[in-house]
Amino acid sequence: MNKNAKLPETEEGTVLFNVDPIMLKYHYEIDYLHSYAQDSPFFAGLAQKKLLGSHCPACETTYATPRSHCMDCGGATHWTELPQCGRVHTFTTCHFGGEAFLKETPFTLILVEFDGAETLFLSRLLGADPDEVRIGMEVQARFVRNSKFLATDVYFVPA
């Protein structure tokens, strides 16, 4: 037993953001191991400059954003290559965004519709000023050369 036990102290300070009430400011960061799991072939496809969707053989539905099981019948879908030309279904130009994307603003988001697919695909449109974008406009897929295995490895430009 030691009645004079003392907690060792360090020189590190605390960032006080406010004193009344007391508010601390601290940084928070974490490394995740995010698995694409059953969606992985889509991201592998981007690295090969392929746009992969899902097809349900029972419902004859083609999903432009992949899902390994069908939303209607619950059956397993198989991978199918989508055309690399589509049309703008809708669009917006973002002048603000989540913190992680602020440095990329302004950027234009589009939902792309493809012939032969029942659902849409979210992507970015480059090469068109905000006031040049139209619903129904033809767009062409482009792929980054150094794949990052992100959905942004594919983007679209005016066809």
Partner 1 sequence: MRPVYMITGGITKFTKANPEKDFRLMVKEAFDYALADVPGLGREDIDGSVCSYFSDHFTRQLKAGAMVQDYLGLCPKPSRRVEGGGATGGLGFQSAWEAVASGRMECCLAMGFETMSRVNTWKGNEFIALASDTNFDYPVGGFYTGYYAMMVRRHMHEFGTTVEQMAKVAVKNHANALHNPYAQSPARLSVGDVRSSPMVSTPLTILDCCQMSDGAAVAILASEETVKRLGVRPVRVSGLGCGTDAMRMADRPHGKVPLLPHEDEADYAQLKYPGVHSFRGGRSAAAQAYAMAGIRNPAQDLDFVELHDAYTSSEIQTYEDLGLCRYGEGGAFVDAGAPFLANLDYGLDFSGMERFARIPVNPSGGLLACGHPVGATGLMQAVFAFWQLQGSIQKHLGDGTLQLPEPRRGLIHSHAGTGTYITVSILEAE
Is residue 46 classed as helix, strand or coil in its secondary structure? Answer: helix
Report the Cα 158 to chain-centroid distance in Å: 21
- Contacts of residue 110, Cβ cutoff 8 Å, sequence gap at least 6: 88, 89, 90, 91, 122, 123, 124, 125, 133, 139, 156
| Residues from 136 through 155 that contact partner 1 (CB under 8 A) | 150-152
Q: Does 124 bind partner 1 (CB under 8 A)?
A: yes
Region of 32-40, 52-60, 87-95, 107-115 interacting with Zn ion (CB under 5 A): 52-60
Choice between 64 and 141, CB closer to partner 1: 64
Per-residue binding string, partner 1, 17-56, x by CB under 8 A, is: -x--x-x----x-----x-x--x-----------------
The number of residues that bind partner 1 (CB under 8 A) is 41
CB environment 1-21: b (16+ within 10 A), e (fewer): eeeeeeeeeeeeeeeeeeeee
For Zn ion, which residue of 41, 49, 59, 80 counts as binding (CB under 5 A)?
59
- For 73, other C-beta atoms within 10 Å of its C-beta total 13
Query: Could you say which of partner 1, Zn ion, none residue 56 binds, taking C-beta under 5 to 8 angstroms by partner kind?
Result: Zn ion
Nearest CA-CA partner of 141 in 125, 120, 118: 125
Among 46, 51, 52, 70, the residue binding Zn ion under the rule CB under 5 A is 70
Q: Which of Zn ion, partner 1, none is residue 59 near (CB under 5 to 8 Å by kind)? A: Zn ion
